[in-house]
Each structure stands twice: as structure tokens, then as C-alpha cells.
Amino acid sequence: MWITITIIVILLVLLLASCFRIVPQANAYVVERLGAYKQTWGVGLHFKVPIIDKVARKVNLKEQVADFPPQPVITEDNATIQIDTVVFFQITDPKAFTYGVENPMMAIANLSATTLRNIIGDLELDETFTSRDIINSRMRMILDEATDPWGIKVNRVEVKNIIPPAEIQQAMEKQMKAEREKREAILRAEGTKQSQILVAEGKKESLILEAEAEKQAEILRAEAKKEAQIREAEGQAEAIRKVQEATADGITMLKNAGPDAGVISLKSLEAFERAADGKATKIIIPSQLQSLAGLVTSATELAKEVDL
């Protein structure tokens, strides 16, 4: 009897212990009572009535990522491409998420595929590669509006890859290669042009420097020649001045010595001798010098007789 009571008490304790539930952070539990929605448990310790209450769904309130496989879509110019998208969403209403749609993830995948086809159908192939932001924003707006009754908030939608058909991809690669070769040729031509411009400018600068150097050299040579002429003229002037001073000094000394007529006549003969040093072809002798010459000759003969 006591054993049976003990077992019953233990079972009751275990049953009561199992009725206490702890909801972790960023989670929510949807509780049903007799098959109907009762309440939503938040974070913390909760108690459910045994047998009557049950946890219908555990909902994760964190932001989640749904990566969908590539979807074939047709552009406005009838090009079939493959596009895969990534949807970032968060559950904001656990009750609506539990009872709003049967399979929320499949619903989001199908809705994302149909929305993507509608958007890409209005764009041409070239626009799909340059309109990622437009595609992302339009998909996010449409998906967020459609999933709001399901208790889902779509935060972002990103287009991962846009895969064109093989022949279009090859044509695009050839076009990109041609564009790269064109840019390379343009850059090479611009480089050659710039190099030629720099060489021409260098030659021009060199010629200018050479002309300036030659001009400076001419100026220096002219200044040097001018300086030499000035010094030569100064030397000649100094020599003339010295001669004039010597002549003046000689005249002054002769004047101070008081020379007689004979001395003056002899000096005249010496000057005449210097004048007739062989360079003259015709000499005109003044009459005064002729008389003086005769006088000198007579004096010379007289001196010889006296010696005899």
C-alpha cells in the first residue's frame, strides 16, 4: 500500500515538474488549451496545466536567412537567365506565424520566385546587371507586404548571382575583352602622346637653355673685350702721359740749365739724325742746319791741324 502511494506521489511530482517550462532568450512558445490557442509565452519560467495545455510551436525570434536556389526567369527581350536570391526575415508575431500559413518557408520561397519573375520580366538583359538595387528594393517591399499577415518581417532581399546563358556569357566576355583592348590601346596612345609631348618640351627647354647660355657667353665675351679695350686705352693713355711728363721734365731741365745756341744746334742735329735713320728717302735740311754743319766741319779740321 505504501509502495503504491509512494509511486503515485513520485509520478505526480514528475508530472508537475514537467509542467514547468523555461523559455530562452529570443524565443517564444505558442500554447494551446484543448486544441485552441491559449497564449504566447515570452522569456522566463511558465507553468502549463497537465494534459489540458500543450506547446503548439516554439518560435525563433532571431533574424533568419533563407537562401533560395537559382530560379529561371525571362527578361523583357526574351533572354532566359538564372537568378538566386537571399531573403533576411524575422518573425514578429508568433501566433500569426503559427496559424497564418501551413509552411512559411515554402510560402516565402514560392512568393520570392514569382515576384522575381514579375520584376525581371519588365527589364531587359543589360538592365538586370545594372539594376540590382532596384530589384532588391522592389522584392523586399512586395515580400514584406505579402508576409505581414503571416507574422513575418522581411528586412532585406539580396540578389546573389545573375547567370546568363552560355552563348550570351561568351558574347559578353568577347565584348568585355574588346572593351579592355580598346581601353588599353587608348591608354597606350595617350602614353605615347604624353611621352612625345614631354620629349618636345624637353628639347624646347634644352634649346632655350642653350640660347640663354650662348647669350650669356656673348655678353661675357663682350664685357671681357670691352674691359680689355678699356685697359689697353688706359695703358696707352698712361704711356702718353708718362712720355709727356718726361718731355716736360726734359724741357724744364734744359730751361733751367740755360743752354747756349751751340747746344741747341747740337740737339737739333741729334734730332735730325734720328729723323734720318734710313727710313726717309728724301730729307730737306733747313738753312740754319746747313750753316751749322759747315761750322762743325771747319771746327773739326781746325782741331786736326792743331794736333799735328
* Mean pLDDT in order along the chain per 10 residues (308 residues): 75 74 91 91 88 89 90 86 91 92 89 90 85 90 92 92 80 78 86 86 86 86 85 81 74 64 57 54 52 49 47
State whether 139 and 159 are in the same domain.
Answer: yes
**pLDDT at 271 (0 to 100):** 54
- 5, 29, 60 - which closes a domain: 60
Report the length, in residues, of the chain.
308
Q: How far is CA 51 from the centre of its chain?
A: 76
Looking at the structure, do residues 83 and 155 belong to the same domain, yes or no? yes
**Whole-angstrom distance, CA of residue 146 vs CA of residue 115:** 10
- Residue at 296 is within a domain: no
Q: Is residue 260 assigned to a domain?
A: no
Residues pairing with 20 in the sheet? 47
Q: Where do we find the cell 781746325?
A: 302
141 occurs within a structural domain: yes
Query: Could you tell me if residue 197 is inside a domain?
Result: yes
Domain CATH number, residue 72:
3.30.479.30
Asked if 31 and 81 sit in the same domain, the reply is: no
Q: What is the pLDDT of residue 74?
A: 87
Place of cell 734720318: 276
Instruction: Tell me whether residue 188 is in a domain.
Output: yes
Instruction: Looking at the structure, tell me whether residues 124 and 188 fall in a common domain.
Output: no
Is residue 242 domain-resident? no
Geometric angle at alpha carbon 65, from 113 and 28, rounded to 5°: 115
Q: Which domain holds residue 139?
A: 63-164
What is the predicted pLDDT for the residue at 296? 47
Q: What is the pLDDT of residue 299?
A: 46
Q: Into how many domains does the chain fold? A: 3
- Helix axes 104-120 and 132-147, enclosed angle (nearest 10): 140
Would you state the torsion angle of the CA atoms of residues 29, 32, 33, 38, taken in this order, to the nearest 10 degrees?
70
- Which residue among 146, 164, 182 closes a domain? 164
Residue 300 within a domain: no
Around 269, how many Cα atoms within 13 Å sit in the side-chain half-sphere? 15
Query: How many other CB atoms are there within 10 angstroms of residue 39's CB atom?
Result: 14
Round to whole Å and give the CA distance between 269 and 265.
6
Instruction: Count CA atoms within 13 Å of residue 298 on its CB side.
Output: 6
Domain presence at residue 243: no
User: Within this chain, do residues 53 and 135 fall inside the same structural domain, yes or no?
Assistant: no
